[in-house]
Amino acid sequence: MLRTLKSAILGGVRLARTRWAVMGKGRFLRHGEHLHVGTNVRLWAPHHLNLGTNVYIGRDSHIECNATIGDHVMIANRVALVGRHDHLFGQIGVPTLFATSVTDPGYPPGLALEEVAVEDDVWIGYGSIVLTGVRIGRGGIVAAGAVVTKDVPPYAIVAGVPARVVGHRHSPEDIPRHEQAIREGHFVFSARGRLFNIVKPGPHRP
Ligand SMILES: CC(C)(COP(=O)(O)OP(=O)(O)OC[C@H]1O[C@@H](n2cnc3c(N)ncnc32)[C@H](O)[C@@H]1OP(=O)(O)O)[C@@H](O)C(=O)NCCC(=O)NCCS
């Protein structure tokens, strides 16, 4: 009883925090249903930040670049998604601190659209950094502490600095079964906490 009450109160706080985090960000932020934004998360983008359905963003994470994030994505605590070319460091005779930056009017429009793309069913581990220009393929995993500078193939596990493939989450034979089960299943991530999640995998799960 006490546990249920505590979960309900904490759930309400979580929900309120997420609503507060997205409030007033309509200029660049679009999101689907069932979003969780943890404590001290910073969400900012020069142009767009599109979040899918069932997205979890852990506490102290910073998304400070354009990003397109798919469905069922888990971003751990202290993750950073940042703009690779936020400051035009190649300008001759100008210290980078004073160089044209992504928030300046003269910043090249093409570069201003660079993004991090995160496909469905991705897990980005604690303390990792992902630079714009990178696509994390469906089902991929970024290990804790990685710095991701290049695309991550679907279902690959990448680790290290710079991140390299260290393994694969599922075998090629298992991937179709996994994806079909997710497509046919019913997954509702609750902004109130894991206790309130709905998890009904499709019939093709072993
Ligand atoms: C990526 C991860 C899931 C892989 O787990 P695993 O399957 O047990 O991986 P393994 O131990 O078999 O690792 C494979 C190789 O990658 C290396 N590796 C694993 N995680 C690493 C990391 N974070 N950084 C650097 N190398 C790593 C291992 O040392 C191993 O190298 P080796 O083959 O030379 O021995 C796990 O290491 C991880 O980082 N999980 C994220 C944890 C997290 O962020 N938790 C927060 C909760 S949301």
* Beta carbon of 125 within 6 Å of any ligand 1 atom: yes
Asked if 53 contacts 33 with a C-beta cutoff of 8 angstroms, the reply is yes
Q: Which protein residue's CA is at the shortest distance from atom 35 of ligand 1?
A: 166
Among 166, 170, 171, name the best residue to mutate to test ligand 1's pocket (greatest count of ligand atoms within 8 A of Cβ). Answer: 166
In this predicted structure, what is the pLDDT of residue 196? 86
Q: How far is the CA of 171 from the centre of ligand 1 (A)?
A: 17
Residue 151 CA to residue 44 CA, distance in Å, equals: 22
Q: How far is the CA of 143 from the centre of ligand 1 (A)?
A: 5
In this predicted structure, what is the pLDDT of residue 204? 64
- Cis preceding linkage at 162, omega within 30: yes
- Assign 46 to helix, strand or coil: coil
Residue 61 CA to residue 65 CA, distance in Å, equals: 12
Q: How far is the CA of 20 from the centre of ligand 1 (A)?
A: 34
pTM comes to 0.94
| Count, residues in the chain | 206
Tens of pLDDT, residue by residue, the chain (206 residues): 777 888 889 889 999 999 999 999 999 999 999 999 999 999 999 999 999 999 999 999 999 999 999 999 999 999 999 999 999 999 999 999 999 999 999 999 999 999 999 999 999 999 999 999 999 999 999 999 999 999 999 999 999 999 999 999 999 999 999 999 999 999 999 888 888 899 999 886 55
Structure token digits, residue 45: 């983008």
* Beta carbon of 167 within 6 Å of any ligand 1 atom: yes
- Helix %, strand %, coil % of the chain (to 5): 20, 30, 50
Q: How far is the CA of 166 from the centre of ligand 1 (A)?
A: 8
Q: How far is the CA of 172 from the centre of ligand 1 (A)?
A: 20
- Contacts (Cβ under 8 Å, ≥6 apart) of 186: 198, 200
Structure token digits, residue 152: 């991550």
In this predicted structure, what is the pLDDT of residue 101? 97
For residue 128, give the ligand 1 atom closest to its CA. Answer: 44
- Closest by Cα among 131, 118, 123 to 167: 123
Question: How many other C-beta atoms can be found within 10 angstroms of the C-beta atom of residue 116?
Answer: 25
Residue 139 CA to residue 122 CA, distance in Å, equals: 5
Q: How far is the CA of 178 from the centre of ligand 1 (A)?
A: 21
Helices first, then strands: H and E counts in the chain: 2, 19
- Closest by Cα among 56, 28, 49 to 191: 56
Among 75, 157, 168, 194, name the best residue to mutate to test ligand 1's pocket (greatest count of ligand atoms within 8 A of Cβ). Answer: 157
